[in-house]
Amino acid sequence: MQGFKGASEQYMRKKGLHSVLHWANEAKESTFAIRSLFLNLSAKITMADKEDKNPENVTGTFYVDSQCIDCDLCRDTAPENFTREEDEGYSYVYKQPETDEEREQCVEAMEGCPVEAIGEDGAE
């Protein structure tokens, strides 16, 4: 037969377990909330818009639009194709890729652009 002390310990263990489960459930709900917030923010960042190209882009597949924040990533990744408009501080495509290597670098720049300002649907 269980004494008062044993029953009390068992109660405290159950209560502790209940607290841990409650905490785990709250953490899970927070994770869902954070994930959902992130997805909403991601959805608000629009894809590159060929109707909003920076004017210096040469005609062709790749281009940079006005969302560019001048972070330098594309110019560093594909220096044969992207350059900087020095007065206004943004990137544009000064030469369309001519080799597989240049094309791969342009795709890498497009995929790495933090604001999705690079498009590849610019060919007429």
Of 24 and 95, the one with the shorter C-beta distance to ligand SF4 is: 95
Backbone angles phi, psi at 78, to 5 degrees: -135, 70
For residue 53, list its beta bridge partners. Answer: 65
Cβ 102 to ligand SF4, closest distance in Å?
15
For residues 104 and 80, the answer to whether their CB atoms sit within 8 Å is no
Of 71 and 107, the one with the shorter C-beta distance to ligand SF4 is: 71
Of 68 and 96, the one with the shorter C-beta distance to ligand SF4 is: 68
Residues in the site for ligand SF4, rule: CB under 6 A? 64, 68-74, 91, 113-115, 117-118
The sign one gets for the Cα dihedral 77, 83, 86, 92 is: negative
